[in-house]
Amino acid sequence: MLSLADAENKVADLVAAAVRAGGDAADAVYHGSSATEVQVRLGRLEDVGRSEGEEIGLRLFVGRRSASVSSSDLSTDALVALVERAVAMAREAPEDAYAGLAPDERLLRGEPVDVDADDGGDPSPALLRERALAAEEAARAVAGVTNSEGAGTSAGRTLTALATSTGFARGTIASGYGSSASVIAGEGAAMQRDYAYHSARHLSDLEPADAIGRRAGERAVARLNPGKLASGPMPVVFDPRVGTSLLGHLAGAITGTAIARKTSFLLGKRGARIFAPGITIRDDPHRTRGLRSRAFDGEGLPTAASDIVADGVLTTWLLDSASARQLGEQPTGHAVRGGSGAPGAGTSNLFLAAGALPVDALIADIKLGVYVTELIGQGVNGVTGDYSRGASGFAIRDGQLAEPVAEITIAGNLAEMFLHLTPADDLVFRRALDVPTVRIDGMTVAGA
């Protein structure tokens, strides 16, 4: 993996070479990563892995024609050939009236915001092994846990650099750590599995390994001897670790591409109320040590926190430059991209703000409902908003969590689900998508 300065110079040099070779405009992105991961099972070391990789991608424009190419070979000869191939491909590509670099006047020019993404650490495999063993030991110590699928701890670093022919050239470095455990409770056909994990930018922010393991064990044991639930309309309460998927569906529905293609169930809803009054959903790219924090987007535009939903009203689309041109608007600083190809649009640290009610109060009036802790399948239609997924969790009876339930289906329509969503007050920032416990009235549950 290159140093930050070398990566910035590498992409800037590649862009300059692309213009000299006949490109009217170009941008280049470098991705480098290194990671160490340790896996244990039943108290023994199972695997130690080390991975390193790097890739450079070039997007080149000849008039309104463009081509994207990438290479994991960063040698001079390979990059010369990369530029030649990109020029030849672009000259044969179809014209695209909306393709192009981000507007020059909107690029980040000043000092970027410091999001404190890199702690500079490089923990030894021995330390990672110690944490993995501690997580599994704590999980296996929970009464009722009978087997283990293992535990793991990882540490890594990523470097990204972006350059454009309009003069932008910057890079970022981020560290990343993770710890997980997965165990089995019960015996024979009655076995149940569950897991727990945590990820952080700084090692010091990573949850203690024994807490992660204990939570995995307790979750697995709590799922033993599940029953069925009667079918019918009832409130559905989403645990935070599965409720985050609702934000994913929202983000996908408001990307510029979905709106421009008219393939979103939220088409025409900007400026309209799509959640109950008081609901706020914020994208915060500047959160200190956030998992997706960034000072600039995938096209070099500065980022800023924004309320995507304010007081229940949808305020914006997520626009990269191409979709913004197609819609006759300006990009919003939400461009994301990989090592090659054109940018798309997406969120950074997206969260649903906490509500006013504790979880106990949120469910207190539910005579019969379900508390969902796991979702299964991909039964969500982004065009119509129709929603139907397999689920498991716990019955709610007379305002209390009751017996575990499995093999149920929850169904509704996202537009209606959003309008009937109520958040609890237990928001904790743990992921790139975060929600508190949420309740949605009026869903249909198919059980026994």
Indicate which CATH number applies to the domain containing 100: 3.30.2290.10
Buried b (16+ CB within 10 A) or exposed e, 290-305: bbbbbbbbbbbbbbee
Q: Report the pLDDT averaged over residues 23-35.
A: 96
Helix (H, G, I), strand (E, B) or coil at 274: coil
pLDDT of residue 104: 93
- For the cut 80, the answer to whether the pLDDT of residue 413 exceeds it is yes
Round to whole Å and give the CA distance between 408 and 374. Answer: 11
Whether 71 and 161 share a structural domain? yes
Picking from 263, 243, 269, 249, the residue whose alpha carbon sits closest to that of residue 379 is 249
- The greatest distance separating any two alpha carbons of the chain, rounded to the nearest whole angstrom, comes to 72
By three-state DSSP, how is residue 182 classified?
strand
DSSP class per residue in 341-385? S--EE--SSEEEPP-SB-HHHHHTT-SEEEEEEEEES--B-TTT-
Same domain, 170 and 236: no
Give tens-digit pLDDT for 275-319.
999 999 999 999 999 999 999 999 999 999 999 999 999 999 999
Is pLDDT above 80 for 423?
yes
Answer with the one of 221, 251, 283 that is the final residue of a domain: 221
- Shared-domain flag, residues 258 and 384: yes
Residues 139, 148: Cα–Cα separation, whole Å: 8
> What is the model's pLDDT at position 228?
87
Q: Do 137 and 198 belong together in one domain?
A: yes
Based on the fold, state whether residues 419 and 390 are members of the same structural domain. Answer: yes
What residues make up the domain containing 363? 226-448
Q: Is the pTM of this model over 0.75?
A: yes
C-alpha span between 222 and 225 (Å, rounded): 9
Choosing from 221, 237, 262, the residue where a domain stops is 221
Is the model's pLDDT at 424 over the cut of 80? yes
For residues 45 and 182, membership in a common domain is answered with yes
Q: Give the count of domains, the chain.
A: 2
Whether residues 390 and 259 fall in one domain:
yes
Q: What are the distances in angstroms from CA 416 to CA 279, 316, 421, 444?
A: 15, 20, 9, 12
Whether 350 contacts 247, CB under 8 Å: yes
Split at pLDDT 50, 70, 90, the class of 448 is: low
Alpha-carbon span 254 to 249, nearest angstrom = 9
